[in-house]
A and B are shown apart, each in its own frame.
Chain A
Amino acid sequence: MTRRGAARAVVPGAALLAALAAPWLAPRPPGLQEDPAGARLLPPLTRAAAIPIGEHSTWIVRSLERTREGWTFVRAGRPGFLPHERIAGPPEARFYLLGTDALGRDLASRLPYALRHSGGVAALAVALALVIGIAVGAGAAFGGRIWDAALMRSVDVLMSIPRLLLFLICATLLGPSTLLLILVLGATTWTGLARVARAQLMALRTSDLALAARAVGPSFARLLVGHLLPQIAPVIAVTAALRFADTILLESGLAFLGLGSPPPAVSLGGMIAAGREALSEAWWVAAWPGLAIAALVVALRSMTAGLLRVNDPPSLQ
């Protein structure tokens, strides 16, 4: 059981590591366009070479061979030749593990950064949603009938508007930016968490545990944070992990529509959108970020299923 649980955490753990270690993992900077023509849409596992030409420019070429007069190669599908004196330095080997996109950028370098960006946005959004959701849930559970009704009806209203449309409106209000993305994703994610927190706290409110804790006379904040929240933490954690997976999916959808973080940022959905443009020539540009999302979401969901079983042994069968 615990062994399987550990196995389930492998993919999210690897994704987290890849995201954190992006600067060391990526062979080159994620936005680097060394040679947009020569490195355009190279398939995965391409072995190529970079020839420095002059001060600032580089040619990415394949089947490089040294002859007596210079170098022969194939660049952008056409054979070429450069005499020794045109080359500014010795050619370097380049290996494109995942291939390149239409601007000649290395996908293996972009993927960890995209994971870092999308994962970071989703994590911050879920953290914000946790704070709002628990606060609203606690307010509804302990604030009396009127607060309960008012807060929960607002949750109903917010849940009736499709999140994507809500975000569409907000994105046009303020123009796309990463901060706005996080705020709006957080502000549309808390509703489900608030429902869960309220239901859990309602059940705890009249328990002996709450009574005993209250007898000592702590402040409400202390009662909530010190005594009640630890009780509902497992359920909240599972809900938050599921929301995290949903938020990754939603964020990538927004980025795909061109409403995610603006350009210098690399996101998984943005990479897929770039892949859509190149789809008729190259499958690999869209494939990797999509596979990364799917793997991450599958792993997160099965991990939470495992967590639920640990917390609730009767459902083990």
Chain B
Amino acid sequence: MIGFAVRRIISALPLVVGVLTLVFLLVQLVPGDPFRRAEGPDVSREAADRLGEAFGTDRPLPERYLSWLANFLGGDLGTSYSLRRPVTVLLKEAIGNTMLLAGLAIALQFLLGTGAGIAAARLHGSAIDRAVGGAAGILYALPSYWLGLLLTWTLSVRLGWLPASQMHAIDAHDFGPLQRALDALRHLVLPCLSLALPAAGGIALYVRDEMRAALGRGFVQGVRARGVGEAGVILRHGLSNALLPVVNLLGLALPGLVGGSVVIEVLFAWPGMGRLAYQAVLAQDEPLVLGCVWIASLMVIGGNLLADLLSAALDPRVREVVS
């Protein structure tokens, strides 16, 4: 297992370098010096030159790439052009908020999806099975931001139960710690549901099919014949077989989740990485864009790695095939 893990981690390294290089080159395709573009009535030519020199944008491409890479490995992502603050600091502020939102969404979609999927597979052909199938199919097809609007309209505009955007109430700094946490939680509900429900639909459909297949196999009959209770059959024998593809699915769903969180964070004004990336792109803020895209890609690669390791831990066959 350790050997497998080491090999898998080493094989991810070229990927990391590849992503790094591709993103850097893409951003370099922006025509002209970023500060030359700022030149105009408000910014003189000399000022633009000085800014270019200060941020190092006047140097040739290979030199910039190497120094960026060297700084990068040293943990320095440069300074944001538009916000004039170190990119690492900005990212550090945003990444926790994104992790909170995305982490909760992943947990929620996994719980809801697996629960509904198991129930549907257990009651194969029943009304509940059909209801879960229909609801999951529809949820899975909804654009997350549209679901977000729908939830906002019902829960926020009509009923007034939940705040429609931001992470904290305006007067949040006067709150005590408990009240503050509750306030953040209330702000979390709508973006988290909009992110989790469509994905939960996809997982439910998948788990239902896998579970149905697992329960139909011969060994389940054998387990039942030995007198194992229904809960044991479902949880220990069925689920352990059905979960494997789901773990892989989660790994595959990560890019979508990271991408989807851009739209959801913009929609709900959630101060996370997706919104930061969106603002950076609109401001043509090269170091900040690089930092955001890079961290997002790293999260995706790390997620895939985790999914692979997890499935190898769950299933010895995976380890054998690779080694």
Contact = CB atoms under 8 A, between A and B. Distances in A.
Interface string B125-150: 00000000000011011111110011
Contact of B263 (A161, A170, A253): A253
Interface stretch (A70-78, A223-231, A275-283): A275-283
B262 interface: yes
Contact of A169 (B27, B137, B138): B27
Pairs A-B, 8 closest by C-beta atoms: A164-B259, A297-B141, A290-B146, A157-B18, A162-B259, A298-B141, A168-B281, A162-B255
B188 interface: no
A163 B259 contact: yes
B289 A293 contact: no
Interface string B79-93: 000000000000000
A57 interface: no
Contact of A276 (B260, B267, B282, B297): B267
Nearest to A170: B26
B30 A153 contact: no
B266 interface: yes
B284 A279 contact: no
B300 interface: yes
Contacts of A158: 22
A163 B141 contact: no
Among B143, B149, B289, B304: residue with most chain A CB under 10 A: B143
Given A169-B27, A173-B29, A163 B255 contact: yes
Interface of B: 14-15, 18-19, 22-23, 26-27, 29-31, 137-138, 140-146, 149-150, 152-153, 157, 216, 255-256, 258-260, 262-263, 266-267, 277-278, 281-282, 284, 289, 292-293, 296-297, 300-301, 304
A55 to B, nearest CB: 40
Nearest to A253: B263
Given A168-B262, A168-B281, A279-B149, A161 B23 contact: yes
A153 B293 contact: no
6 contacts: A160-B300, A169-B281, A169-B293, A173-B30, A253-B263, A286-B153
Nearest to B282: A172
B263 A164 contact: yes
Nearest to B14: A153
A290 B143 CA distance: 7
A156 to B, nearest CB: 6
A88 interface: no
A98 to B, nearest CB: 16
A294 B141 contact: yes
A229 B27 CA distance: 37
B152 to A, nearest CB: 7
A287 B153 CA distance: 11
A305 to B, nearest CB: 10
A168 B277 contact: yes
Interface of A: 153-154, 156-166, 168-173, 245, 249-250, 252-253, 256-257, 269, 272, 275-276, 279-280, 283, 286-287, 290, 293-295, 297-298, 301-302, 317
B215 to A, nearest CB: 12
Given A160-B19, A161-B23, A169-B23, 9 more contacts: A153-B15, A160-B297, A161-B297, A162-B293, A168-B277, A168-B281, A169-B26, A275-B149, A301-B137
B281 A272 contact: no
Nearest to A256: B145
Given A153-B18, A257-B263, A161 B293 contact: yes
B278 A168 contact: yes
B163 to A, nearest CB: 14
A149 to B, nearest CB: 10
Contacts of B267: 256, 276
A290 B27 contact: no
A272 B29 contact: no
Contact of B153 (A252, A257, A279): A279
A7 to B, nearest CB: 15
B273 to A, nearest CB: 10
A157 B15 contact: yes
A229 B203 CA distance: 32
B19 A283 contact: no
B281 A172 contact: yes
Nearest to A290: B146
B282 to A, nearest CB: 7
Given A157-B15, A165-B293, A280-B157, A272 B143 contact: yes
A171 B281 contact: yes
B295 to A, nearest CB: 10
A301 B145 contact: no
Contact of A272 (B26, B149, B256): B149
A160 B258 contact: no
A169 B293 CA distance: 9
Given A165-B293, A173-B29, A257 B278 contact: yes
A293 B22 contact: no
A40 B256 CA distance: 36
B262 A165 contact: yes
Given A163-B259, A168-B262, A169-B289, A157 B142 contact: no
A301 B19 CA distance: 31
A113 to B, nearest CB: 19
A187 to B, nearest CB: 11
Nearest to B28: A173
Contacts of B14: 153
B256 to A, nearest CB: 8
Residue among A154, A165, A172, A293 with most chain B CB within 10 A:
A165
